Amino acid sequence: MFFRRLAICLGLLIFPQFVTPLLFSQQQAADSKPASTEAASSAVRFESPDVATSAPVFVQIDVALIRTAPSRNTDDRKKSLTELIGSADDIQDRVEQMRLSGLSVKDQVRLTRLAGHSAGISSGALTPRATGASTTRGGQPILNYQDVSTGLQVNATPTIQNEQIVIKLEISRNYLDDSRQPSEEKESEFVPQDNATLTSNTTVAMKDNQSVAYGITESASGRFWIVVVTARQLP
């Protein structure tokens, strides 16, 4: 090493024009190597694949259950369904007018969910149900009551398909059958109120900010229910 350095020093004194470029070329080679390595490393570190992603879409869903008279014929039912199909705002106003006028709009719920994900909502209360009859010591007939859970349960899974909002719906409604009211007159003739359940599992599709309506018929009483669904994408 000592003799090599001595030779370089003598060379600088005698032939500076040959030794100096050689030293510079070695220094440039040494400097260029880590620079190129860092550049390659940076390219790998910051490069990201070009993956197409869609923005998340939230969907607002409104569901209303309307009970109609048992005597309605098929034509009346079709007409009722047709009248509840249109823009979401118009149909929601119409349902609200029906409720205010005393018609049987039994349940109204709203839920908002990210497209492709499920959501559930329930609306109800404890309702006294006549379960039996008895007589007081004075001979007066009285009814016995027990609280039961009544109301609506809705599970919905919205998706966006072919520029439409497609919703998988699961609806369950527990209620007391009021077609047969209990009587306190005769204990022997007492018939308990039925705790009925109305269910529907279906898939509906509509344009954004529109509505659909379909019917469910009670198997026992024949009473016709209308399910009104409106949906809109939220910005």
50-102 tens-digit pLDDT: 434 467 899 999 999 998 876 667 888 888 888 899 999 999 999 998 888 87
Q: Are 226 and 215 in contact (CB under 8 A)?
A: yes
Q: Are 196 and 176 in contact (CB under 8 A)?
A: yes
17-36 tens-digit pLDDT: 444 444 444 444 444 444 33
What gap in Å lies between CA 150 and CA 227, rounded to an integer? Answer: 18
**Taking 60 as the threshold, does the pLDDT of residue 110 lie above it?**
yes
Average pLDDT, the chain: 76
* pTM of the complete model: 0.67
What are 14's two structure tokens? 């005698």
The pLDDT value given to residue 160: 95
What are 229's two structure tokens? 């669904």
